[in-house]
Structure 1
Amino acid sequence: MNDLLPPAPAPVPSEARRFRARSLWAGLLLIPATFLVVVLALASERGTACVMRGTCADIPGPFYLGTLAVALGALIWTQTTPDAAPPAPSRKAGLAVLLGADLLFLSLVAAHFAG
């Protein structure tokens, strides 16, 4: 009777689960971090002048979209790469790329209001 049952899946190492959770949080926290950067930028004199007088910096939209696309690709990579006992070096690189793209996006948002 045991021959008819599918084999039990191998347990996911705890280090791989923690790594996956960290990369998911790094991707999801981009949204509230963006709101925080906008609020902090608007609280400054330059940020208010940017909105009121239209003196914002002209940063092309493809830069924003490019950093978001890279961040999304890295997030998908870190979430879909198969688990291993130590996380694969490519997953670690994916997390580094994700964090870098997130920080670059937030810097672009802040630079827009610093105009």
Structure 2
Amino acid sequence: MSNLPPPAPASSEARRFRVRSLWAGLLLIPATVLVVILALASERGTACVMQGTCADIPGPLYLATLAVALGALIWTQTTPDGSPPTPARKAGLATLLGADLLFLTLVAAHFTG
């Protein structure tokens, strides 16, 4: 037998924070699909696909926003159960949401720009 102390009781605030940040990260996929559908429903979006008049947004910009979002998601998911989220973890959630919104804006701008 080991002499390890019993694990700290899980903080409900930490669990709620983790669930919220997980939903913020996972909802990027359906939100992207929705933005593409809405963009293609417009006249400019259709012309983008049919005539090739899409805006020229560099691919590394998309990858950079996704990398920041993934890093922020990992940061927010590592909140320990025994303690409430720190201000740095809360800033990570704000960064995640900002990176998600920037990515969706870039996708919309590609089709309608």
Short-chain TM bin:
over 0.9
- Whichever of the two has the greater Rg, that structure is 1
Deviation of 1:5 (Å)? 6.4
Deviation of 1:81 (Å)? 3.3
Distance across 1 between alignment mates of 2:71 and 2:24: 13
Deviation of 1:4 (Å)? 4.7
Give yes or no for the alignment of 1:62 onto 2:48. no
| Contact 2:68/2:99, CA 8 A, preserved across alignment | yes
Map residues 93-108 of structure 1 onto 2, 5 A cutoff.
93-108=91-106
Once the two structures are aligned, what percentage of the paired residues are identical? 82
Map residues 34-53 of structure 1 onto 2, 5 A cutoff.
34-53=32-51
Structure 1: segments with no counterpart, 5+ residues? none
Letter in 2 for 1:47: G
Deviation of 1:63 (Å)? 0.5
| Contact 2:14/2:79, CA 8 A, preserved across alignment | no
Distance across 2 between alignment mates of 1:66 and 1:40: 24
Structure 2: segments with no counterpart, 5+ residues? none
TM-score normalised according to structure 1 size: 0.92
1:66-95 per-position Cα deviation (integer Å, ceiling 9, x unaligned)? 000000000000001334543100100000
Number of aligned residue pairs: give it: 113
TM-score normalised according to structure 2 size: 0.94
| Contact 2:65/2:100, CA 8 A, preserved across alignment | yes
Displaced runs of 4 or more, over 4 A: 3-6
